[in-house]
Amino acid sequence: MAQLRLICFDFDGTLAYMHPTHWATYAEAARDAGIELSEAALASPGVDRAWDPWLTPQGVAHPDASTSAAAFREVRVAIAMQRMRDAGAQVDDATLRAAAERAATLEADASRFRLFDDARPALARIAAAGTRALIISNHLWELPEIVDALDLGSMFAGVVTSARAGYRKPHPEIYRDALREAGVEAHEALMVGDSITADVYGAQDAGLHAVFLDRDHRTDLPEGVRTIHSLLEVPLTWP
Ligand SMILES: [Mg+2]
């Protein structure tokens, strides 16, 4: 058994969650601009093709959109407009843009994020073992500030967010970026997350070990995926 040098965590659904939900936040932003959209319509599977323009065979790559906070916010606004249109918004562009701007502001509000109960004790356990922790997340430009607002900043050696990296998991480049930042080899690192595609397969493609966080005790897991049910079960060694 070799001691792992770095434990990497996904953020949403793994360490923290949005409250109200992301789609409820979108509905609220639309309502603020005078558009009635239901959370269900926004959450419908057809709506989320937001990143399709940046999709490559390895995953979403948007380095051109990650040159500055302002450039990335413009992408978030465009995505929010597309999502609201796909959810049935039939309004003029100026009204839709106002709603999308509001959504981009609300979704970056740190007070809308809550930590799962096991996050803080799990991070304390990892720190006590002398192992470093890092966040690798498909997230906003403001994720480092959100992590600080949750009083978690000191627990992590770094926060790698796709907004700044220019690549979204499962693209291997965001994992390579994180390993470079931490100065750790892929085989010395473990990824923990609640998405099999983004967190488990993506990390494995980049050479990291990975465990799937299955908080809901799913019964439809593919074979060969190592699973934990709580962050307190994160392995600190790997066979
Ligand atoms: Mg997640």
Measured in angstroms, how far is the CA atom of residue 45 from the centroid of ligand 1? 17
Measured in angstroms, how far is the CA atom of residue 188 from the centroid of ligand 1? 22
Which of 110, 125, 150 delimits the end of a domain? 110
pLDDT at residue 231 in the model: 98
Measured in angstroms, how far is the CA atom of residue 93 from the centroid of ligand 1? 31
Range of the domain at 74: 18-110
Stated as kind and residue range, the H or E segment containing 27 is: helix 22-32
Measured in angstroms, how far is the CA atom of residue 148 from the centroid of ligand 1? 19
User: Considering its fold, how many domains does the chain have in total?
Assistant: 2
Residue 83 and residue 77 in contact, taking contact as beta carbons nearer than 8 Å:
no
pLDDT tens figures, 38-87:
999 999 877 678 899 999 999 999 999 999 999 999 999 999 999 999 99
More confident residue, 196 or 1: 196
Q: How far apart are CA 118 and CA 9, in angstroms?
A: 13
Identify whether residues 122 and 216 lie together within a single domain.
yes
Token digits of residue 234 = 């994160």
Per-residue pLDDT for 1 more than 90?
A: no
Q: How far apart are CA 59 and CA 51, in angstroms?
A: 10
Q: How far apart are CA 48 and CA 44, in angstroms?
A: 8
pLDDT tens figures, 25-37:
999 999 999 999 9
Secondary structure string (H, E, C) spanning 181-214: HHCCCHHHEEEEECCHHHHHHHHHHCCCEEEEEC
pLDDT tens figures, 59-70:
999 999 999 999
Measured in angstroms, how far is the CA atom of residue 5 from the centroid of ligand 1? 22
Identify whether residues 13 and 125 lie together within a single domain.
yes
Measured in angstroms, how far is the CA atom of residue 195 from the centroid of ligand 1? 6
Q: What is the value of pTM for the model shown?
A: 0.95
pLDDT at residue 47 in the model: 67
Which of 67, 92, 110 delimits the end of a domain? 110
Measured in angstroms, how far is the CA atom of residue 205 from the centroid of ligand 1? 18
Residue 237 and residue 2 in contact, taking contact as beta carbons nearer than 8 Å:
yes
